[in-house]
Chains A and B, each alone.
Chain A
Amino acid sequence: MTAVLYVFVYAALVVFVVASAVRAVLYARMPMHLRWELYPVPHEPHERLKHGGSYLEVPDWWTEPRHVNRVAEVGWMAREILLLKGLWDANRRLWFRSFPFHFGLYLLFGSAGLLVLAGIRTLGAPDAPATPIGQVLHAAYLVTGAAGLALGIAGAASLLHRRLTDATLRNYTTPADLFNLLFFIASFGLLGAGFLARPAGSPGPLALVVGLLTFDTQLPVPSLLAAGVIVASLLVGYIPLTHMSHYVAKYFTYHYVRWDDAPAHGNRALAARVAEYLAYRPTWSAPHVTADGRRTWGEVATTNPAQGTQK
Chain B
Amino acid sequence: MKEPIRLADVSRRDRRPLTHVENRDLMRLPPPLDDPAADRAWAQLSAQVTAKYECGLDDTCAVSVPQPGSREAEDALVAKFLAGLEKLFTKENNWTFLQPLVLTMEHCAKCQTCSDACHIFEASGGDELYRPTFRSEILRRLYFKHVKHGGLVSAWQHGDIEVNWPLVARLIELSYRCNLCRRCAQTCPIGADNGLVAHELRKLFSQEMGIAAKELHETGSMLQLKAGSSTGMTSLVVKDNLEFIDEDMSEKTGLKVETPWDVEGADILLIHNAGEILAWPENPGAFAVILNAAGISWTMSSDLAAYDSINYGLWYDDAQFARVALLHAQAAKKLKVKKILMGECGHAHKALTVVADRLLTGDLDVPRESSMTLLRDLVVGGRLNLDPARNDFPVTLHDPCNMVRLMGVVEPQREVLRRICPQFREMEPHGVDNYCCGGGSGFAIMSGHNFPDWRFHVAGRKKLSQILGAFSDCLDPATPKYLCAPCSNCKGQFRDMLAYYDLWERHRILYGGLVELIVNAMVDVKPGFIDWEWR
Contact = CB atoms under 8 A, between A and B. Distances in A.
Contact of B323 (A59, A250, A302): A302
B490 interface: no
Given A35-B355, A38-B186, A168-B112, A27 B158 contact: no
A286 B159 contact: no
B156 A176 contact: yes
A121 interface: no
Contact of B100 (A36, A40, A289, A302): A36
Given A31-B98, A52-B431, A57-B411, A249 B357 contact: no
Contacts of A250: 107, 190-191
B110 A172 contact: yes
B513 to A, nearest CB: 19
Interface in B102-161: 102-104, 106-113, 115-117, 128, 131, 133-134, 137, 156-159
Interface string A157-186: 000000000011111111111000000000
B223 interface: yes
Given A39-B408, A306-B222, A27 B103 contact: yes
A87 B109 CA distance: 12
Contacts, number: 274
B93 interface: yes
A41 interface: yes
Kindly name the residue among A52, A167, A242 whose own CB sees the greatest number of chain B CB atoms within 10 A. Answer: A52
Given A90-B187, A305-B222, A31 B319 contact: no
A35 B358 contact: yes
Contacts of B406: 37-39
B92 interface: yes
Interface stretch (A7-15, A130-138, A191-199, A252-260): A252-260
Interface string A297-311: 100111111110000
Nearest to B134: A171
B347 to A, nearest CB: 14
Interface string A225-254: 000000000000000001101100110111
B82 interface: no
Nearest to B381: A59
A255 to B, nearest CB: 10
A33 B100 CA distance: 8
B358 A34 contact: yes
Of A84, A171, A249, A297, most buried by chain B (CB within 10 Å of CB) is A171
B360 A264 contact: yes
- Most B CB within 10 A of own CB, among A61, A256, A263, A288: A288
A287 interface: yes
Contacts of A297: 92, 95
A62 interface: yes
B432 A39 contact: yes
A57 B409 contact: yes
B116 A264 contact: no
A254 to B, nearest CB: 6
A67 interface: no
Interface string A204-235: 00000000000000000000000000000000
B37 to A, nearest CB: 28
B43 interface: no
B156 A174 contact: yes
A31 B361 CA distance: 16
Given A243-B108, A249-B103, A56 B431 contact: no
Nearest to A63: B367
Contacts of B357: 34-35, 263-265
A53 B226 CA distance: 37
A59 B373 contact: yes
Contacts of B525: none
Interface string B69-113: 000000000001001100100011101111110111011111111
Contacts of B168: none
A60 interface: yes
Nearest to A47: B411
Contact of B93 (A30, A54, A62, A282): A282
Size band of the B side of the interface?
35 or more
B283 interface: no
B180 to A, nearest CB: 11
Contacts of A36: 97, 100, 193, 196, 355
A106 interface: no
Interface stretch (A69-77, A112-120, A266-274): A266-274
B145 to A, nearest CB: 13
A86 B187 contact: yes
B5 to A, nearest CB: 8
Contacts of A87: 113, 189
Interface string B197-210: 00000000011111
A31 B99 contact: yes
A53 B210 CA distance: 38
Contact of A254 (B111, B191, B370): B191
Interface in B152-200: 156-159, 182, 185-193, 196
B110 A246 contact: no
B207 A286 contact: yes
A243 to B, nearest CB: 5
Contacts of A254: 191
B422 interface: no
B354 interface: yes
Contacts of B112: 168-169, 172
B463 interface: no
B103 A253 contact: yes
A305 B317 CA distance: 13
Contacts of A32: 99, 358
Contacts of B354: 35, 37, 56
A37 B372 CA distance: 20
B182 to A, nearest CB: 6
B264 interface: no
Contacts of B431: 51-52
A23 to B, nearest CB: 9
A252 B99 contact: yes
Closest 9 pairs between A and B when the two form their complex, measured CB to CB = A54-B408, A253-B191, A52-B432, A306-B226, A271-B361, A90-B187, A306-B225, A31-B95, A286-B210
Given A59-B374, A288-B222, 16 more contacts: A30-B99, A30-B102, A32-B358, A52-B408, A54-B409, A56-B407, A57-B370, A90-B113, A174-B159, A253-B190, A265-B365, A270-B361, A286-B209, A289-B319, A291-B93, A306-B226
Interface of A: 27, 30-41, 44, 48, 51-62, 84, 86-87, 89-91, 94, 98, 167-177, 242-243, 245-246, 249-250, 252-254, 256-258, 261, 263-267, 270-271, 274-275, 277, 280-291, 297, 300-307
8 contacts: A34-B355, A52-B404, A57-B370, A171-B6, A249-B190, A286-B207, A288-B319, A289-B207
